[in-house]
Amino acid sequence: MARDYPLEKVRNFGIIAHIDAGKTTTSERILFYTGESHRIGEVHEGDTVTDWMEQERERGITITAAAITCFWNPTYMGTDTSNKHRFNIIDTPGHIDFTSEVKRSMRVLDGAVVVFDGVAGVEPQSETNWRYAEEANVPRICYINKLDRTGASFEKSYASILDRLSKKAVRLQIPIGEEGNFDGVVDLLAMKAYKFEGEMGANVVAYDIPEGVKTEAEKYHGELIERIVEHDEKLMNDYLEGKEVSVEDLKKLLRKAVCANEIFPVLTGTSLKNKGVQLILDAVVDYLPSPLDVPPAKGHNTDTGEEETRLASDEAPFAALVFKLQVDPFVGSLAFFRVYSGSIEAGTFVYNSANNKKERLGRIVRLQADKREDVKIAYAGEIVAAVGLKEVKIGHTLCNPEHPIALESIVFPEPVISMRVEPKTKADQEKLGIALSRLSDEDPTFRVMTDPETLETIISGMGELHLEILVERMKREFGVVATTGKPQVAYRETIQGTADVEYKHIKQTGGRGQYGHVKIHVKPLAPVVEGKKVKNNIEREDHFEFINNIKGGVIPQEYIQPIRKGLKEALERGVLAGYPVVDVSVDLYDGSYHDVDSSEIAFKLAAINAMQEALQKSKPVLLEPIMKLEVITPEKFMGDVTGSINAKRGQIESMSDRGQAKVVTAKVPLSELFGYTTQLRSLTEGRAVPNLEFSHYAVVPRNVQDDIIVARK
């Protein structure tokens, strides 16, 4: 069965932005204009399609990335449908606590529409999302939204993009009027003005550029063309010689530059007032890449270890990456995956290269948020979901067993906040375990563990809101009523000195004894140097390095891995307050063994004891998560805001203006910030807005460290 849409007419893109910039409102307009939805849902009315979870509708925020499939015929095609495109769109959350949703979505997208608030311009989460897109090499179109609002300014927002994100941004449109006078947009390439008429602005009407913006439009038209032709020598020469360069040639070259991340076109409009969204969709068709325009997916053959690539072709061996798991109340578990190469039929078996297991792919569904459409075959370049896969996790590769491959996986940030959770009744006990297991499968930044001393269940996440919503979901989706303790900071321990330790584990019992003897050198882990080759005897993973310098078989090879495991195990509980130890390098350089008494367990125990002794001797210190705090406040409260930050061991980094408001940026320890939002509201009559995101771990000051250790013990 042939695919119904050629690959060059497929666009996989995401809608990303800071919270409240209008992502979900934009998604709802897209569904309406593409005919997927017969009415427009509004965030403020709580009836959106993409925000389909109860908590999303109640809070007016996006929590999970929703996948939508729809079709678009560019407005300039009129009734001719020969250029109709299939869109697979992911509407991602903007709140920093759900940042993993954005990160994992970036991994499977070919392009992105980045939405900005026309009043605020670039905001903290815009920067974080932009950074994720840079890391994933995702081409972007910028959309300055909400130009109808009081205080909106296209030029100020555009300047903030150039200043804080990229100098490669260039105006593709300018607005006709602003705030209450916002009337439409000028396309600087075609040099046409557009207004949006009829029900919900569904009719896009082109007309001549009004006199009031003509001079400005001509100035920026020249600037745009110069920015485009500098990417092609022939067109550059033609332009400099005064020859006319056709719009078609300019569009082709602009598309090439956007796909190569050399230009980020900036468009504008107001999604809420139905102005500008259709032209965004036209720009997606014209400038964002199809699966054929992006580099082939990379991975390694799980049999040979060799690096391999997978071309976006239906004829290539099947390979897909699972990027999201979701529990559906009607069909059970859904595994969202992006097909990079080949095709897969419903009812056939797939091979999971992460756990070497085969599973039957029962049903394949295409999604419009919470609605589903069954499909028989998923082809290269598509984003679909499978029903009923039991053994898959996020980041796993599904592939053809004859051509096994593990595609590059997704790396997630570590949780920074923990809290105790316990079921209210005995009946909830069993349900709690199932609920926590399901939720941690869905969300890799949500961790569950049992405290070995108190046997309490500890949940960890990216912020207070993150954990609050997960506890709420346990109640609504799994019927588990749980009580929670106070949020706890996820401290870490590390070392600042070095130590040489020798440890012999010798035990004589009546029969065979135990003998393991190791000598280790411990030091702080140095950062990775880009491009520097790692030696064969060094095993490096997150926050830990193991160097095997055993020569001449003084410790047999079969005991090396048990030693490594013992060292890792010892790092799970630090010597100061029992927190995990990070950023340690261990050099195993000598030891001895006994022909009869040595065993794997003896060497593992020797390594654990040696490591604990080494940690005591190498200047152990506590580390705490430091948050980047940005407070937007009216000027009259500046003194109160800076005073409150200083009182919380905060370091103020900058103060700047944003419109009529002041912006204070600071680095503050997470432990000082519990309940800060409430405190800030009372200090500023509810007018200041805080934005928080994780920055880094830093050493805890000695006086604070002593208090933490006492409280822990």
Q: What is the spatial distance between Cα 703 and Cα 709, in angstroms, rounded to a whole number?
A: 10
Token pair for 198: 């009829």
Is 623 in a helix, a strand, or coil?
strand
362 is in an annotated binding site: no
Among 5, 16, 9, which Cα is nearest to 289's?
9
In sequence order, the 6+-apart residues with CB closer than 8 A to the CB of 245 are 225, 229, 235, 238, 239
92 is in an annotated binding site: yes
505 is in an annotated binding site: no
**In the chain, what's the furthest Cα-to-Cα distance?**
102
148 is in an annotated binding site: yes
Q: What is the spatial distance between Cα 625 and Cα 418, in angstroms, rounded to a whole number?
A: 12
Using CA atoms, how far residue 277 sits from 93, 142, 309, 354, 673, in Å, is 19, 12, 36, 41, 39
Give the residues across from 627 on adjacent strands. Answer: 668, 694
Is 66 in a helix, a strand, or coil?
strand
Strands (E), 269-348: 297-300, 307-310, 319-328, 332-341, 343-345
Q: Is the four-CA dihedral 284, 287, 293, 297 of positive or negative sign?
A: negative
Q: What is the spatial distance between Cα 173 and Cα 141, in angstroms, rounded to a whole number?
A: 12
**How many angstroms from the chain centroid is the CA of residue 510?**
57
Q: 588 and 569 in contact (C-beta within 8 Å)?
A: no
State the amino acid at position 522 in one-letter form: V
146 is in an annotated binding site: yes
273 is in an annotated binding site: no
147 is in an annotated binding site: yes
428 is in an annotated binding site: no
46 burial (CB, 10 Å; 0-12 / 13-18 / 19+) is middle
Task: Give the chain's length.
Answer: 713
What Rg, from alpha-carbon coordinates, does the chain have? 28
- Containing 117, the helix (H) or strand (E) segment is strand 111-117
Q: What is the spatial distance between Cα 564 and Cα 548, in angstroms, rounded to a whole number?
A: 9
Q: Is the four-CA dihedral 627, 628, 632, 636 of positive or negative sign?
A: positive
Q: What is the spatial distance between Cα 150 and Cα 404, in angstroms, rounded to a whole number?
A: 56
3-state helix, strand, coil in the chain (%, to 5): 30, 35, 35
206 is in an annotated binding site: no
257 is in an annotated binding site: no
80 is in an annotated binding site: no
24 is in an annotated binding site: yes
Q: 104 and 323 in contact (C-beta within 8 Å)?
A: yes
658 burial (CB, 10 Å; 0-12 / 13-18 / 19+) is middle
513 is in an annotated binding site: no
Token pair for 560: 């090396």
145 is in an annotated binding site: yes
- Between the CA atoms of 236, 239, 240 and 241, what dihedral angle is there, to the nearest 10 degrees? 120
State the amino acid at position 41 in one-letter form: G
19 is in an annotated binding site: yes
Q: What is the spatial distance between Cα 316 and Cα 319, in angstroms, rounded to a whole number?
A: 9
Q: What are phi and psi of 381, to 5 degrees?
A: 90, -5
230 burial (CB, 10 Å; 0-12 / 13-18 / 19+) is middle
Sequence ranges of the binding site for GTP: 17-24, 91-95, 145-148
Sequence ranges of the binding site: 17-24, 91-95, 145-148
